[in-house]
């Protein structure tokens, strides 16, 4: 699949694709309509056909669609069958850094100078702000691609 085609994988089409991936394939138009919250099976069918034309789904003999290829989506990373926004991954990294900073600060707090304490508290505040910003953006991106859980 070319880069220009993956850029078309957004909005409702992306939600339909994610729904079929989470269902391990075998999703029909009515199932997709209910799972994604679309207005009719024909709308779901149109998006399923679009994904089939992109080479991401194939239709089996019983009329259900199966995932043929799990493609990278810009700004996201696949973890199993779940698409996770990059900012959420970054927020986990910043959380690990923050925990490390707090451990170092706790260990050294009683023996270090005031200048060290101020510097380290400033560093911890910057890390906390970065963590919060990445977390907020990651949750916003996750909300945009969320599909209903039909199980």
Q: What region does 131 belong to: left with phi over 0, alpha with psi -120 to 50, or beta?
A: alpha
- Which single residue is written with the structure tokens 């990651």? 138
The pTM score is 0.75
Q: Please write the tens of the pLDDT for every residue from 85-94.
A: 999 999 999 9
- Interval 18-44 mean pLDDT: 88
> What are the φ/ψ torsions at residue 8 (nearest 5 degrees)?
-80, -10
Identify the pLDDT of residue 137: 97
CATH match for 3-67 among 1.10.10.10, 3.40.50.720, 3.30.930.10, 1.10.3720.10: 1.10.10.10
Domain ranges of the chain: 3-67, 78-145
Q: Please write the tens of the pLDDT for every residue from 45-86.
A: 999 999 999 999 998 888 889 888 888 888 899 888 888 999
Of residues 8 and 63, more confidently modeled: 63
CB count in 10 Å sphere of residue 57 = 25
Identify the pLDDT of residue 117: 87
Q: How far is it between the farthest Cα atoms of the chain?
A: 73
């Amino acid at each position: 699949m070319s880069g220009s085609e993956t850029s078309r994988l957004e909005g409702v089409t992306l939600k339909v694709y994610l729904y079929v991936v989470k269902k391990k394939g075998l999703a029909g138009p009515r199932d997709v309509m209910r799972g994604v919250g679309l207005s009719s099976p024909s709308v779901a069918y149109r998006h399923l056909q679009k994904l089939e034309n992109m080479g991401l789904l194939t239709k089996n003999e019983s009329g259900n669609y199966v995932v043929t290829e799990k493609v990278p989506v810009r700004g996201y990373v696949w973890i199993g069958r779940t698409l996770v926004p990059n900012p959420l991954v970054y927020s986990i990294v910043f959380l690990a850094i923050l925990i490390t900073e707090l451990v170092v600060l706790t260990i050294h707090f009683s023996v270090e100078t005031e200048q060290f304490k101020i510097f380290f508290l400033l560093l911890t505040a910057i890390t906390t702000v970065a963590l919060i910003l990445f977390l907020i953006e990651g949750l916003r991106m996750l909300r945009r691609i969320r599909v209903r859980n039909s199980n």
